[in-house]
Structure 1
Amino acid sequence: MVYRFILPAVIAVGILLPSQSVPEIPTELPHPKAIDDLPLLGAIVMETLRLHSPIPGIQPQITPAPFTTLAGYDKIPRKTRVNAQAYSLHRNHDVSPNPGSFLPDRWLKPMDSVELGNMRRWLWAFGSGGRMCVRSNLALQARITLFLPQSEIKLVVAAIYSNFTSKIIDDDGIEPIDAYTVRPSNNRLVLKFERV
C-alpha cells in the first residue's frame, strides 16, 4: 500500500489531509470518522486491495446437492470442486475498465451509484463466506450496509502520511511471487521517510 502512495506524484499530504498541518507528531490518533471522511484515501485503499489482493489464489468450493448453476453453467453435479480467485474477479473488464491500471478515481462515485455498488460486490480481497479472512473485520471494520472502509489500514496510512513524506530507495524485487498469498519476491521495500 505504501508503494502505491509513493508512485503517483499527485497524491500528497495536502490532498489526503488538507485540514491537518501537524507541527509535531501527535500523541493521539484521529477519530475514525475524520479518517472515513477522506474519500481519496478510501479510494486508494480500495483500489490497492482490488489490484493487489492479499490472497489472490484460488478459493475452492464443493458444490451442494442436487445441482448448482454457476456463471451460466447449469446442473453442475454435486460434490464438484469449483474455484474462484480474487485476481480474476478483480480484473473483470465489465466491472473495472482498464483493470490492470491503478485508478483510485474509479471508487470516487456517488454512494448510490450502480457502478460503485457493482465494484463493491466484486471486491473479494478477503474472500467471503466460510473461507473469509477472520481478521478482515479488523483490517476494514466496514459498515456492512454501505461498505465504507473505516479501516485500520486507512488509519495507519493517514497517521503516517499526515506526518511524513516518503520516497523509494530500493524497490528491486517488489514484483509479487506467484502463490496463494502475496509478498514481494525480495521480501523488502526500502523507503526513506522525511518529516513534513
Structure 2
Amino acid sequence: MNKGMIWLSAIAFSLSVNTATVFALPADNMKKCPGHEYKEKMLEKLNLTDAQKKQIEDIKKQYKEGMRAKFGELKNLRSQMIDLVKSDKIDENQLNQLVNQKKEILGSILKSKIMMKNQIYNILNDDQKKQYIDMMQKWMDKKMMHMQKMDKKDQTESNEGVNLMDEDDTNDTDSE
C-alpha cells in the first residue's frame, strides 16, 4: 500500500508539472510566456533572412502539430491515472504500465524538441551559429546562477529551521 501511495504521489506531481507544460504552447491570440518571448528575441538578434524566418516558421509549425497528438495522448493517460486514483485498490501492474507509457511519451516529446532545435540550428550560417551558441551559453550561465541562488536560499532556510529547533529545546530545558 505504501509503495502504491508513493507512486500515486509521484504521478500526481508529474501530472501537475505536465499540465503546465501542455498549456505552455500559446494559441495565436494568447500572450506568450516570457520564455517564448526570450527565444523570439534571441532569433531576432541573429538577423535572420526572410528565407530563414520562413524555414524556422515551417519547422515550428510542424513541431506544434506533432505535439498536439502527444498532448492528446498525455491527456488520455491523465484520465486513466485519475480513474486509478479513484479506485478502491490500486492495480500496481496497471500503474506501472501507465507510468511507462508516460515516460515513453515524454521521451518522445523531448526527442522531437531536440530535433527541432537541431533543424533550426542547421539553417543558420556560421556567424549566426557562433552568435547562437554564445547566447545559449549566457542563458545557461544565468540559469545556473539562479539555481545556485535558490540552493543557497534553501540551505539558509533549512539552517534557520534547525536553529529555531535548537533554541526551542534550550528554552524547554531552562524552564525545568
Give the TM-score taking structure 2 as reference length.
0.29
Query: Which of the two has greater helix per residue?
Result: 2
Query: Which of the two has greater strand per residue?
Result: 1
Give the number of the structure with larger relative contact order, counting CA–CA contacts within 8 Å between residues 6 or more apart: 2
> Which has more radius of gyration?
2
